[in-house]
Structure 1
Amino acid sequence: MWETKTMGAANPHAFLEVWLYHDETKDADLKEGKRHAHIILVVPERLTLESPHGMQTLFEADPEVTTPRSEFLFRIQEIRTDTQYSGELHASSMSGKQWGKRECCGARVLDLASEFLRHKGPKGELPAPFFRFGALFFPPKTPSLRTFYSGDDPEKKIQYFETLMRMAIKGVLHYGYSDLEQVYPKIEVTILGLILDGDEHLKRPIDQDRVIERLRGELRPGLAISPDFEIRAVDSDPKTHTPGTRDYDDCELLQVADLLLGAVRFVADGSYHGLCPPETAAPKLFAKLGSRAEKMAWVYLSICELLKKKAARLRKSPKAWKHSGHYRSFTISRAELDGEKWQFWEVEWEYDEGSGHLLPLFPDLSY
């Protein structure tokens, strides 16, 4: 990891150049019914910390430039080498009850992802990687779909998908890089591109005008889309790429997005029921657990712990959560159509220490 420094009297400005990694599911079984979901993983290619003009900070001589994406990919390869696993890390490929190399590798990659979601270290150290992710649950169809999108033919369904993708991108960027003045008085983010987990299922390339060009006019000040913005569809199976190539690196990050989405679904659909409590030892390699859910609870442990951390801090006080290095590192939301207007709710989490249950507090929309 790069060298860090503890925050001083005047904090630096942060300038980020980021890539967006997208994954989706059409099979989120919530108590309210089946939902689709988009997830956006925001990965900084470059993070530059600069001193405010005329102010003395830790970075007064020269800007501090780090490359979080490269560091993250390097650390993933270390994990793969250590676990002796080079195959797929998709949640869907982790079938059965056995704790194998795939599960061990996936769990450690999510541990790493949790670390890289920080915008400051545990003691305020800077720089920190500043990754972000956002998940948006939405209905597969609505009574207003025909009217809202002038039909429900296949093309209109793709347009619906693209519109919600744009909302997911906007949501994670607005949420993840705001209200952090206590650490960074100024944050500017440039979006370099969007990486998709293939696009064959859409039957056509993503409509850049609907997803990106409309987004240009919707982003708040401090967020900008690069003039060289690109959309790329990459196969997320590592066997299809040569290690060290750009496609292989993007494939690795798409698999991280897939694991994060799997973790969010695992909690949101009620699969997490106090499994793998802290006092229980982690599984040994090739051990057979009681159920696949128990196994996946261990794979997703670091993300479940992150949700517990937020719930515990908010229960103590909102200020306690705001001082966390994970504050605003992720957002999980629900979207529903109200007539022809979208309504959004952020999903909060409740952790019952007695039962060990981690429950999503989805809003009651039965009005």
Structure 2
Amino acid sequence: MGTPPGRSHALRTRLGTLAGVALLLVLLWRTGTGVLWDGLRRVDGTALAAALGLGLVTTVLSAWRWAVVARGLGIRLPLGPAVADYYRALFLNAALPGGVLGDVHRAVRHGRSAGDLGRGVRAVVLERAAGQLALLGVGVAALLVLPSPVRDEARQIAPLLGPALLGALAVGLALRMNRAPSRRGRALRATLGEARAALLSRRALPGIALSSVAVLAGHLAMFVLAARVAGSGASVAVLTPLAVLALLAMGLPLNVAGWGPREGVTAWAFGAAGLGADTGLGVAVVYGVLSFVASLPGVGVLVVRRHAAPRTGPGRAAGAPANAPERAVVPGAVPHPAPGGPYPGSPTAPGPSGAVRIEKYAPKESARLASSSFPFSAEPSEGRPMTPESV
């Protein structure tokens, strides 16, 4: 018997967390704990304020990108709620193992609030994919042009990647043309069509590309800030490819709230570049601290929403919408039971008087989120930020 999907995912998460812990322990064993404490002592108030400012810019831009993607899928997402949700997701990603639980919560909550769980989840997946594509595009260019420990290897591999991708695309098209349409194939085409409309349409592509590049620039600026705090005087041109390697390592599912591969890769990259592995580990530690501080407004979002959650009134069922009208009694109405509900003649069916209680539900608004559930009271324009971000 195979392992259930949910249990398999939980097992992979635990294994990734254990791998991240093991990697951190090996680094501390090789370099000692002095590098860790020295990096933490160097973080001062100025660095924390700069991290909060950079985090604000990157988070607002990331939330705008999310709103643009959601609009392409037919779901309206105001910027204020999107920023609040993004801050909360960043904090949960930084505080919980795995590094993705905040995004999972963000996707599920948005999907349920919009009345379409599938599109809500796809909007978050596509938004994150857009950020990763920007990182890959800019990262490959930086690794090919700027001096780095992997520039020679990257220049040798790059000419082979283009033909390999074209060959894989040709094989896929040939298989698609020679295969009879199937239910799974139709679903895949529908998903690809949604992704094309959400990311590559003339209305969405410019904003997504601009915000993704700006968010990546914000993360690179955070890395340079961490390097300066940790005592590294290397130039931005030298630090940029090292930062790209660290950001790529953060995407590996072998971490403890982002810690693990980032520290290992940064220590190796700084050592290979002649800057010192100890310095690289210190930079990674400071970057982790600054990134966590930049996500702390998410704590405020969690607290505000917890206290602002609507309480169940004495005459309203738990979980009922706050704006749903009370049930009306319609004399003489013919019962129309819902699936699984009471039928005429059952013990719970209406009595002989024929009075039936019919619940009038508020119309589903699948294209709007209830702004009262967010701590932002502003009404931003659709898909555009009211103010000027994680991959």
TM over 0.5: no
Please state which structure has a larger fraction of its residues in helix: 2
TM-score by length of structure 1 reads 0.23
TM-score by length of structure 2 reads 0.22
Q: Relative contact order (C-alpha < 8 Å, sep 6+): which is higher?
A: 2
